[in-house]
């Protein structure tokens, strides 16, 4: 579907004076998209040779465990409190690794002497100072194995001397679910950090589906309450028990009510979950009321205020390819019946695209990924919002890659044929060795490295791809990713955990090559939340305000640096800085110089009331007296499998006017094919009453558009209704438009005053095109049923005082094969006293 969108471009002239203060050898380019400032540091320089190496064998392979290719996370922490960020890599089949930062992008493997040496399948890594002793601790999730003892998560407590001790069992966090990711946050506002664990089945969706409705705690997500350093399982009580295929989780206060909420990204058919914190230790799943649609194969998730409106938005990565070839060879199956059956049964509307959920500030989101140009990033895993170029807008990086492309259509066809051949041969009792070696199948799967995606936030909800320009063009198989300032120069660098290849380390040289400014903030939090996790920081500079909620658990299976970073563009100072701590205390600072790392202390905060109850907005809902629009069942895709949307369900349509001249607005609510339209008569300015005003036979029409207007100049409103949709065969009576004449009291009679036009229409515009004092009509053709994309006729109907006459061929021949009209309006654009007609539509 093509949409026409107008953009207002505002150009500003900025005069920069020269002084000693702003003298700088760096260059400020007109467009940062023209500068490469991400520099990949090779292992020969960094010393980081970690490789999340995957090796299949007859017992563990992608055929028997399709979750084995999900990769592993990476975390940044200051393990030894030397002021340099170190790196922890999770490994699936080999030992995890801890690298100590020695400065200047040189690292040392200190795994052996640190006490971290797990060999069981590690996935997600979360860094937290859980005992608030000033040292970073490490929580590692475990996955895959059937043996529950091998799936016990580990909690490495920092001993303060460069070594760690696993105390997960003593603390009650040796969870043996199939762990993917952990997120520490204070869900009950008691001051200490609790933890949400995202779990999932290890090998197939069928395994989860088989247990649907049954309690199997090795599959469900879990919530643990921190009770003085001992963790209690409150999963059931809190209301978060689920059987979703959880792949990532983020916790943030999405509605700014002072309570931390939860977003869970779920793979396969289970929908994502938005849990609203009720404030009493429980959560409510508000997905249906907050999200109109979502990704289907949801992977990683991150939050950021992408348009600096003060509301935190949510980005979820899926797996649709960027180019047409990979879209077709790796596409999901097209099964409309299954799609709508899932939607009807509570699985929501899911589409195989990334989702950019723009927070509307009223507990609802608008999904804009395709509008913003960030919907297709191939088999994606970890999205991270980072202001790499420090211009004050959050840029986006998305890791991607699957080492075995099991969804490749050619591979799937080959595998199906192999199974059928072996099954056929098995009928012969003399055949031997007919077993199928899973490694034989796996080796046939295609494999292709893809470069990770990085987008510059251009403002106005627009992003531009900068993968090659900014320096991320190396093809990889990448999963977990984290950002940190590894060299303490003020800009954010990045580390990526790759599969079966060395990790990728990127140095950000923005402070060397660009003259944009920044402000970094380290929080010294409350006694039981030393890092200030989930504090909200707002920075105002140059007339713009940015907001970040501090959580290190971002993207996919990973932990980022807890330092909060704001790009400031050309602003050299911050006018106002506000920290809203998790307990609602506030720190306010002003006139802060840029290009420094500022420490903000909870101990200096003051009491405040920053809870937002939510805007009531301009409108409020009125009682609808159980008014429901009933849609007919019709499967457009049986006739046109490649439709971008259902063309039979473009309603319901509405028209409004005072049909009985009582001073109150009345509403026409159009019907679907087989269901009658309704006239809602206004009783007062707040209430409506449904009136049976139209003949039952007209329920056979699919109303495509309607308008109240005075056809016969008798000072009451008549009604024109377009007959649209695509349920009927082209050129049949189901597409005859209707004109209803008002008797002056709001009672309507169907007339025969229209020409015999049998076209699916969508809009009608009354206007006196010939200046004779009565209203003529433009009627927009919407579609040729069963032939989406083909042009359709529109019509000019002239009012001759008695009826309407089709004068299109004589007066407006260009309306023939005009296009797929969606709307029309008239206005005197050039001020000559005559009305011009403006139309919009598809393929026009």
For each successive 10 residues of the chain (844 residues), what is the average pLDDT?
32 32 52 85 98 93 88 98 98 96 98 88 97 97 89 96 96 94 97 95 53 61 96 95 89 96 92 96 96 93 97 96 86 75 84 95 96 96 97 97 90 89 79 78 92 97 96 96 98 98 97 93 97 98 96 98 97 97 96 97 84 59 73 88 90 94 93 89 85 78 96 96 95 96 92 97 97 97 96 97 96 96 95 94 90
Task: Check if 516-604 and 636-842 are the same fold.
Answer: no
When the candidates are 3.30.2010.10, 2.60.40.1180, 2.130.10.10, 2.170.190.11, the CATH number that belongs to 32-408+445-512 is 2.130.10.10
Which DSSP symbol is given to 815? Answer: G
Q: How far apart are CA 750 and CA 738, in angstroms?
A: 7
Per the CATH hierarchy, to which homologous superfamily does domain 636-842 belong?
Integrin alpha, N-terminal (2.130.10.130)
Per the CATH hierarchy, to which homologous superfamily does domain 516-604 belong?
Immunoglobulins (2.60.40.10)
* H helices, E strands: number in the chain: 14, 55
Three-class DSSP category at 532:
coil
> What pLDDT, on the 0 to 100 scale, is given for residue 382?
98
> What pLDDT, on the 0 to 100 scale, is given for residue 242?
84
User: Quick one: how far is CA 244 from the chain centroid?
Assistant: 17
Q: How far apart are CA 728 and CA 734, in angstroms?
A: 6
Element containing residue 341 per DSSP (H, E): helix 336-342
What tokens were used for 581?
Answer: 């701590």
Identify which of 733, 731, 741 has the alpha carbon closest to the alpha carbon of residue 659: 741
In sequence order, the 6+-apart residues with CB closer than 8 A to the CB of 828 are: 834, 835, 836
Q: How far apart are CA 392 and CA 384, in angstroms?
A: 16
Which DSSP symbol is given to 844? Answer: -
Three-class DSSP category at 111:
helix
In sequence order, the 6+-apart residues with CB closer than 8 A to the CB of 165 are: 115, 156, 157, 159
What tokens were used for 760?
Answer: 């699916």
Three-class DSSP category at 295:
strand
User: ∠ CA 443-449-455 to the nearest 5 degrees?
Assistant: 150
> CA neighbours within 13 Å on the CB side: how many for 338?
9
What does the buried/exposed string (b/e) look like for 632-647 if buried means 16 or more CB atoms within 10 Å of the residue's CB?
Answer: eebebeeebeebeebb
> What pLDDT, on the 0 to 100 scale, is given for residue 22?
44
pTM of the model: 0.85
What tokens were used for 251?
Answer: 């916790």
Q: How far apart are CA 58 and CA 512, in angstroms?
A: 51
User: ∠ CA 230-300-408 to the nearest 5 degrees?
Assistant: 135
Whether omega before 150 lies within 30 degrees of 0, making that bond cis, reads: no
Give whole-number Cα distances, 188 to 210, 278, 279, 609, 719, in Å.
33, 9, 7, 18, 57
> What pLDDT, on the 0 to 100 scale, is given for residue 2?
31
> What pLDDT, on the 0 to 100 scale, is given for residue 750?
94
Q: How far apart are CA 381 and CA 211, in angstroms?
A: 26
What tokens were used for 453?
Answer: 């995606």
Q: How far apart are CA 59 and CA 655, in angstroms?
A: 65
> What pLDDT, on the 0 to 100 scale, is given for residue 331?
75
User: Quick one: how far is CA 420 from the chain centroid?
Assistant: 40
Domain ranges of the chain: 32-408+445-512, 516-604, 636-842
8 Å CB contact between 761 and 808: no
What tokens were used for 350?
Answer: 């899911």
What does the buried/exposed string (b/e) look like for 134-159 if buried means 16 or more CB atoms within 10 Å of the residue's CB?
Answer: ebbbbbbbbbbbeeeeebbbbbbbbe
Three-class DSSP category at 562:
coil
List, in sequence order, every residue forming a beta bridge with 538; answer none if it has no partner. Answer: 547, 578
What tokens were used for 540?
Answer: 């105002």
């Amino acid at each position: 579907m093509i949409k026409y969108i107008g953009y207002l471009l505002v150009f500003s002239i900025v005069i920069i004076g020269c002084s000693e203060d702003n003298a700088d050898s760096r260059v400020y380019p007109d467009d940062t998209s023209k500068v490469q400032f991400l520099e990949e540091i090779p292992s020969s320089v960094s010393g980081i040779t970690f490789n999340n190496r995957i090796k299949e064998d007859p017992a563990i392979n992608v055929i028997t465990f399709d979750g084995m290719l999900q990769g592993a996370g990476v975390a940044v922490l200051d393990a030894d409190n030397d002021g340099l960020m170190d790196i922890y890599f999770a490994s699936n089949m080999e030992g995890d690794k801890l690298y100590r930062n020695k400065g200047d992008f040189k690292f040392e493997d200190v795994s052996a002497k640190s006490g971290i040496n797990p060999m069981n399948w590690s996935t997600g890594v979360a860094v937290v100072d859980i005992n608030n002793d000033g040292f970073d601790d490490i929580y590692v999730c475990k996955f895959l194995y059937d043996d529950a003892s091998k799936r016990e998560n580990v909690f490495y407590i920092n001993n303060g001397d460069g070594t760690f001790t696993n105390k997960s069992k003593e603390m009650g966090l040796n969870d043996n679910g199939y762990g993917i990711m952990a997120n520490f946050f204070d869900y009950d506002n008691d001051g200490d950090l609790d933890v949400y664990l995202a779990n999932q089945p290890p090998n197939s969706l069928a395994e989860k589906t088989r247990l649907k409705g049954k309690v199997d705690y090795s599959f469900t997500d879990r919530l643990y309450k921190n009770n003085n350093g001992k963790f209690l399982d409150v999963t059931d009580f809190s209301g978060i028990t689920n059987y979703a295929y959880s792949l990532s989780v983020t916790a943030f206060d999405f509605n700014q009510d002072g309570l931390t909420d939860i977003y869970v990204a779920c793979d396969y058919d289970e929908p994502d979950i938005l849990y609203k914190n009720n404030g009493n230790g429980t959560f409510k799943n508000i997905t249906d009321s907050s999200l109109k649609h979502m990704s289907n194969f949801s992977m990683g998730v991150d939050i950021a205020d992408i348009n600096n409106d003060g509301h935190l938005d949510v980005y979820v990565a899926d797996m649709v390819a960027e180019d047409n070839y990979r879209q077709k060879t790796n596409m999901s199956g097209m099964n409309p019946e299954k799609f709508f059956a899932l939607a009807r049964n509570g699985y929501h509307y899911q589409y195989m695209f990334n989702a950019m959920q723009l927070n509307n500030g009223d507990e609802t989101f608008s999904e804009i990924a395709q509008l913003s140009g960030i919907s297709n990033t191939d088999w994606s895993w970890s999205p991270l919002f980072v202001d790499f170029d420090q211009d004050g807008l959050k840029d986006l990086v998305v890791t991607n890659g699957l080492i075995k492309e099991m969804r490749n259509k050619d591979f799937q066809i080959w595998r199906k044929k192999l199974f059928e051949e072996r099954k056929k041969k098995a009928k012969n009792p003399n055949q031997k060795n007919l077993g199928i070696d899973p490694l034989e199948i796996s080796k046939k799967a295609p494999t292709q490295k893809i470069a990770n995606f990085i987008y510059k936030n251009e403002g106005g909800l627009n992003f531009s791809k900068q993968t090659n320009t900014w320096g991320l063009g190396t093809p990889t198989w990448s999963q977990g990713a984290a950002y940190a300032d590894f060299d303490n120069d003020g800009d954010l660098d990045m580390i990526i955990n790759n599969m079966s290849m060395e990790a990728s380390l990127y140095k950000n040289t923005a402070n060397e090559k660009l003259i944009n400014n920044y402000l970094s903030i380290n929080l010294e939090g409350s006694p039981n939340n030393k890092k200030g996790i989930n504090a909200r920081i707002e920075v105002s500079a140059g007339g713009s305000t940015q907001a970040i909620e501090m959580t290190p658990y971002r993207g996919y299976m990973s932990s980022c640096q807890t330092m909060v970073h704001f790009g400031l563009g050309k602003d050299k100072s911050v006018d106002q800085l506000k920290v809203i701590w998790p307990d609602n205390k506030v720190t306010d600072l002003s006139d802060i110089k840029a290009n420094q790392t500022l420490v903000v202390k909870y101990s200096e905060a003051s009491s405040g009331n920053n809870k937002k109850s939510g805007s009531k907005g301009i409108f409020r809902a009125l009682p609808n007296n159980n008014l429901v629009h009933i849609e007919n069942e019709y499967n457009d895709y049986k006739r046109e499998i490649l439709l971008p949307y259902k063309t039979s369900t473009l309603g319901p349509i509405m028209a409004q006017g005072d049909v009985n001249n009582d001073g109150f607005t009345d509403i026409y609510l159009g019907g679907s094919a087989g269901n009658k339209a309704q006239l809602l008569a206004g009783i007062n300015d707040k209430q409506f009453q449904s009136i049976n005003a139209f003949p039952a036979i007209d329920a056979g029409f699919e109303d495509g558009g309607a308008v109240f207007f005075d056809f016969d100049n008798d000072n009451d409103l008549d009604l024109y209704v377009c007959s649209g949709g695509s349920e009927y065969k082209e050129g049949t009576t189901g597409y005859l438009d209707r004109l209803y004449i008002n008797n002056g009291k709001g009672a309507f009679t169907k007339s025969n005053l229209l020409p015999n036009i049998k076209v699916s229409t969508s809009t009608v515009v009354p206007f006196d095109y010939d200046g004779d004092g009565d209203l003529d009509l433009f009627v927009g053709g919407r579609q040729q049923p069963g032939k989406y994309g083909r042009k359709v006729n529109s019509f000019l109907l002239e009012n001759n005082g008695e009826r309407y006459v089709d004068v299109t061929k004589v007066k407006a021949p260009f309306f023939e094969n005009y296009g797929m009209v969606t709307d029309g309006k008239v206005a005197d654009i050039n001020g000559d006293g005559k009305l011009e007609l403006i139309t919009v539509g598809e393929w026009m």
